[in-house]
Amino acid sequence: MLDFIYYPVSWILWFWHRVFGFAFGADNGLTWALAVVFLVFTLRLVLYKPFVKQVRTTKQMQELQPQIKELQKKYKNDRQKMATEMQKLQKDHGFNPLMGCLPILAQVPVFLGLFHVLRSFNRTGTGIGQLSMSAYDNAHTPNYVFSATDVQSFLSARIFGAPISAYITSPPSQLQAFADYGGVPTKLSIALVSIPLMVIAGLATHFNARASVARQSPEAAANPQSAMMNKLALWVFPLGVLVGGPFLPIAILLYWVSNNIWTYGQQHLVFGRMAKEEEVKKQQKLEQRAQNAPKPGAKPVNVKKKQSSSDATSVDADADTAVDAVDAPPSTNGTAKSPTKAGQRRSGGQKRPGNRGRPNQKRRR
């Protein structure tokens, strides 16, 4: 049913097993452990861009919270109108809530695919994950892209004496099945490998959640739903790793640890870049404000007022020119004198030639 997930996961694991097998040997536990770790790194690298989109979407959601609250308050009695306005707000800001949870949703089938592939190394014709004496004796079944020889190599792989396919709560009958693959392991040897991995995975989950909570805005942190989710991420999820760890194979615990380590480093990288981008934008705004500010000692100029004043002056000048053109006397050769010269004589305080030495009387017709 989910072969479209199982086969890609199996191919990536097979590739890294071949790569590290050349260096450490195909049956070495370190080879299989590194293959699982780099499988995680490969898948997380593929999901890097969606993760960045998720972070930006979450940040944008926090910035839009005041506007969202206003819409909720304004249209609290009209849910249809509120939904329409919400969609309009999201469209105007290029905001897609689905991108906030897409990387997390994408990791769920990957985890299930890896869990299935690793458990299928122990499968027989009667089922998957039935780790019994006959299961190991008949473990000559291929596992997706892995051959039967690869299946036996996986069963033989050990880390510090503990098979990577074993888990703390393995029944004694299942442990006896390892007799043909390097000897019967003890629960102590399995616990000595599993418990540190469980603790590291739990701590990494807690610190990843703490880093995410620390970057939340005060408004988002004050939201009751967000506060509940923060508590779950900080305490319940890490505790779940410790509670569920004894039931998981060492290979799955390796996946969990490497996935959390990648998440921790990726968060710091992405948030560091975003912080630098914000600093650059802030610096550009300050420089633009400094360029628009008046020089020291200079009187601030209102650009709008200056523009309106210049427009009014231009209108007055045009009106004076028109008046001078009307009042100007005709010239001796029968043509009207230039309005510009007449206006200059009036502005210079000179009297008109026709009125020189005469009282200010009305002209006779």
| Gap between the Cα atoms of 155 and 152, Å rounded | 5
| Gap between the Cα atoms of 59 and 49, Å rounded | 15
| Gap between the Cα atoms of 264 and 270, Å rounded | 10
Residue pLDDT, tens place only, 189-244 = 999 999 999 999 999 889 888 887 777 767 666 667 777 888 888 888 889 889 98
**pLDDT higher at 54 or 320:** 54
**pLDDT higher at 211 or 15:** 15
Residue pLDDT, tens place only, 127-144 = 333 444 444 444 567 788
Distances (CA, A) of 316 to 245, 307, 309, 312, 319: 88, 14, 11, 6, 5
Evaluate whether 55 touches 63 at the Cβ level (below 8 Å).
no
Residue-range domain boundaries for the chain: 159-279
Bridge partner list, 162: 159
- The predicted model gives 41-65 an average pLDDT of 78
Residue 298 reports pLDDT greater than 70? no
- Work out the number of other CB atoms within 10 angstroms of the CB of residue 56: 16
Evaluate whether 160 touches 189 at the Cβ level (below 8 Å).
yes
| Single-letter code of the amino acid located at 44 | R
| Gap between the Cα atoms of 275 and 136, Å rounded | 53
- The predicted model gives 28-35 an average pLDDT of 93
Q: How confident is the model at residue 351 (pLDDT cuts 50, 70, 90)?
A: very low
| Gap between the Cα atoms of 206 and 211, Å rounded | 9
- Work out the number of other CB atoms within 10 angstroms of the CB of residue 152: 17
Evaluate whether 131 touches 177 at the Cβ level (below 8 Å).
yes
**Average pLDDT of every residue of the chain:** 74
Query: What are the backbone angles phi and psi of residue 53, rounded to the nearest 5°?
Result: -60, -40
Residue 38 reports pLDDT greater than 90? yes
What is residue 129's predicted lDDT score, i.e. its pLDDT? 39
| Gap between the Cα atoms of 89 and 83, Å rounded | 10
Distances (CA, A) of 140 to 14, 184, 265: 17, 20, 40
DSSP secondary structure letters along 141-159: --BTTB-HHHHHHHHH-EE
289: left (phi over 0), alpha (psi -120 to 50) or beta: alpha
| Gap between the Cα atoms of 65 and 86, Å rounded | 11
| Gap between the Cα atoms of 16 and 142, Å rounded | 18
Mutual orientation of helices 29-46 and 102-120 as an angle, nearest 10°? 160
| Gap between the Cα atoms of 314 and 322, Å rounded | 12
What is residue 357's predicted lDDT score, i.e. its pLDDT? 47
Query: What are the backbone angles phi and psi of residue 146, rounded to the nearest 5°?
Result: -85, 140
Q: Using the CB atoms, write b or e for 105-127: b if 16+ within 10 Å.
A: eebeebbebbbbbbbbbbbbeee
CA 294, distance to chain mean position in Å, is 40
CA 238, distance to chain mean position in Å, is 23
Give the H or E element holding residue 163.
strand 162-163
Residue pLDDT, tens place only, 306-326 = 555 555 555 455 555 544 544
